[in-house]
Structure 1
Amino acid sequence: MAVDRTEEVEADAVTAETTIRTYPVAPGVRLNVRSGPGTNYGIVRVLPEGMSVPIFCQAPGTTVSGPYGTSNIWDNIDNGEYVSDAYVQTGSDGYIASRCG
């Protein structure tokens, strides 16, 4: 008797989507979200204080100084949305996710 694994695979995919890790934005900061990895890109929205963000990939861009140091790493938090890694508490001064491609 064959076992149908379709339901199991779908359940695994849902679990993977719901376990995306988020990282806190520096306390007391309203963070600009930009359309690309740099301060030369337009602001698409502003995150309110106390937010945490997912990091789907990271890209090099404009160097920014913030509460967590000086960095040229930009975190992709949504499709076409980037924030400076200098304002996100990742626990590392380097890349913690794959490079955006």
Structure 2
Amino acid sequence: MSIDQAEAASSDENESLTAESAIRTYATAPGVRLNVRSGPGTDYGVTRVLPENTRVPIFCQAPGTTVSGPYGTTNIWDNINNGEYVSDAYVHTGTDGYVASRCA
């Protein structure tokens, strides 16, 4: 491998690490096992349950069922993985509004 190829490979690794580390996570409400649903609302099925004291990424947000929780009453649902949503009322984002783009 030439020096140029090694530098390019190193640059690609650094960009990958930077992209991964750029994903911000948010704390879920303390002492709560949080239902993860297949869509933005309580009418959607539970796909799994997050353990207490979990941090979640928010990839996008969508309006849905209004829920009251430790962080207020809101209709905002956070997409934490492909096809997985949790109510923003249980995620400490520091605001009552959107912190990510709307889900398509």
**TM-score after normalising by structure 1:** 0.90
Tell me what 1:31 maps to. 34
Structure 1 runs not aligned, ≥5 long: none
Match of 2:48 among 45, 48, 51: 45
Give, in whole Å, the separation in 1 of the partners of 2:73 and 2:47: 23
Where in structure 2 are the equivalents of 1:1-101 lying within 5 Å? 6-7=8-9, 8-101=11-104
**TM-score after normalising by structure 2:** 0.88
**More deviation in 11-20 or 89-98?**
11-20
More helix by share: 2
| Residues 54-100 of structure 1 deviation map (CA, whole Å, 9 limit, x = unaligned) | 00100000000000000000000001000000000000000000111
Identical aligned residues as a percent: 73
* Structure index of larger Rg: 2
RMSD across aligned C-alpha pairs, in angstroms? 1.4
